[in-house]
Amino acid sequence: MGGITGTKGRLVLAAVGFFALALLIADVAVVEFAAVTQSQASDAVLVSQEQLIASGLQDNNGQVTFDGTDLPGETQSGIAVDAAVVSSNSVVAQTSNQPLDSAMLLQIAAQAVRNGAPVWADAVDSHHVPRRVYAVPLTTSTNSIQTLVVSRSVAEMVDAQQRTLLILVAVSAALLLIGGALSYWLAGRALRPVRTIAGMARSISERDLHRRVEVKVPHDELGELVDTFNSMLERLEASFTSMSAFTANASHELRAPLALMRSEVEGALSRSRSPEEYRRVLESLQEEVEHLSRLSDQLLILARADAGALVPAKEAIDVVDFLHETAARWEDMANKQGTRVEVAAPSSGHMEGDPALLRRVVDNLIDNALRHSTSGTPVTLRGYPGSGGWNVEVADQGPGVDPGDRAKLFTRFARADNARSRENGGAGLGLAISAAIARAHGGTLELVETSSPGAVFKLHVPNGRGEGAVKAAPTL
């Protein structure tokens, strides 16, 4: 196992470690249970033999016998149990071939007399055989204290325990090897999808984002990993597609005015011109420069939003003043188009947000509404509290938004119709920028479904400082 590295090796080592610990605990439990069971059985034999001998002891003037005969050397079932009767300073009777010497018998008997109760002891006899000893103090008819000591060899029991331990160790080692091999195989099989995902991740480039991991896995953590990885690839593919489209559209928007400016400059430099002709060229160049300035400003806002750096400088905004001031700025434009901006403002109220950014959102919405409004119909600017914040709606009574265009309404460089064209000052970024500003405030910008003619856009700005202050917009 020492050569195994990585996640697979750690999993195998962890499994083997836990398995080894479980086997160790099981082995110790089995050995201890066997030892306790055998010890209890052995002790029960000694107690039974002691009671049998004690009931048949006879003391005739210091001559101790068992029913007139020598002390028995085994139980009725044939188990060898040695016995001895010990007085205060000598062994008065014992079985033939008593393996315990007199000194040890006297010592154990003395301990029982001092305790005034039976004692248990483990000893090694003269043949170096381990024995279990049981001593019980007795009171004879002469009122002298004598002690009955019985013992038996536990060598066979110790040998049996050792054999049991060796068998358990051998079986545990075999099980550990089998468990380690099985864990290695299972870990390899379980991590195979991970290796597939890793290999695919190393081989995928921006041209292969359409690929997906197709590995049959159960609906567990690995299945969740595969689904998550495929979802990530799907998001990356959408992001790269959007970025490519954004780059192409931005290049097109920048190339057109630059080409026009170059044409005007080359034409002006091709020959001498009158002051009036130079003035016309400069005025044309000024219009294109203003268009490029607006476009670069819009692209900068979108780039900051994508990087999560569009952080609103929030402050308390008087809703009534905000709505009326915004409507006043568009009064002349509305009059030129034969319409007007009507304000439906509350009596009072404050919302928290960046005044400059929110003004830009409402300006974009009013500009779009005026472009689509028919002469004589008003554009309504309305503010009201709702959903833990404030809602600002801009409604027109124009032709509305075609259902086929709603999916791409907030897409960058998307033009729903010819009303938004470069000649009219639009690059298809107004609603995309407005939505990004709304998200930076932790709010939303949406097209409201209504049964009335026209279109209604609703900006929701939540109250509370810090809500959504650093929320990044979706990637390009």
**pLDDT tens, position by position, 2-24:** 334 577 778 788 888 888 899 99
CA atoms within 13 A on the CB side of 378: 9
6-160 is a CATH 3.40.1550.10 domain: no
Alpha carbons 465 and 434: distance in angstroms, whole number:
20
Residue 175 CB contacts under 8 Å (≥ 6 apart), including other chains: 19, 23
Which one is the CATH code of 221-306: 3.10.450.200, 1.10.287.130, 1.10.600.10, 3.40.50.150?
Answer: 1.10.287.130
Is residue 158 a contact partner of residue 124, using CB atoms and an 8 Å limit? Answer: no
Which one is the CATH code of 315-462: 1.20.120.1810, 3.30.565.10, 3.30.50.10, 1.20.120.1730?
Answer: 3.30.565.10
The answer, yes or no, to whether residue 420 has pLDDT greater than 50, is no
Residue 33 amino acid letter = F
DSSP H stretches of helix in 57-148: 102-115
| Predicted local confidence at residue 470, as pLDDT | 32
Q: Is 6 left (phi over 0), alpha (psi -120 to 50) or beta?
A: left
| Predicted local confidence at residue 374, as pLDDT | 82
Nearest-Å Rg of the Cα atoms of the chain is 50
Please, which pLDDT band fits residue 57 given cuts at 50, 70 and 90?
confident
| Predicted local confidence at residue 351, as pLDDT | 92
Alpha carbons 92 and 250: distance in angstroms, whole number:
118
Q: Residue 430: which of 295, 332, 309, 307 has the closest Cα?
A: 295
DSSP H stretches of helix in 5-136: 6-56, 102-115
Is residue 398 a contact partner of residue 377, using CB atoms and an 8 Å limit? Answer: yes
Write out the two tokens for 161.
């325990």
Counting other chains too, the contacts that 245-251 makes at CB distance below 8 Å and 24 or more residues apart are 245/413, 246/412, 246/413, 246/476, 249/412, 249/413, 249/428, 250/299, 250/413
Q: Measuring CA to CA, how many Å separate 473 from each of 171, 189, 440, 476? A: 63, 40, 7, 9
- pLDDT, tens digit, 9 for 90 and up, residues 135-153: 999 876 555 668 999 999 9
Alpha carbons 289 and 261: distance in angstroms, whole number:
9
In the chain, residues under CATH classification 3.30.450.20 are: 6-160
Instruction: At 317, give phi and psi (nearest 5°).
Output: -115, 125
Is residue 105 a contact partner of residue 119, using CB atoms and an 8 Å limit? Answer: no
Q: What is the mean pLDDT of the chain?
A: 83
Q: How many Cβ atoms are within 10 Å of 2's Cβ, its own excluded?
A: 6
Provide, for the chain, the percentages of residues in helix, strand and coil under a 3-state DSSP scheme, each rounded to the nearest 5: 50, 20, 30
- Mean pLDDT to the nearest integer, 192-220: 77
| Predicted local confidence at residue 382, as pLDDT | 93
The answer, yes or no, to whether residue 423 has pLDDT greater than 80, is no
Report for 68-72, 311-315, 466-470: range of highest mean pLDDT: 311-315
| Predicted local confidence at residue 84, as pLDDT | 92
CA of residue 191 relative to chain centroid, distance: 18
457, β-bridge pairs: 394, 447
First vs last C-alpha separation in the chain: 49
Alpha carbons 426 and 415: distance in angstroms, whole number:
9
Pick the residue with more confidence: 188 or 441? 441
In the chain, residues under CATH classification 3.30.565.10 are: 315-462
What secondary structure does DSSP assign to 28-48, as a single string?
A: HHHHHHHHHHHHHHHHHHHHH
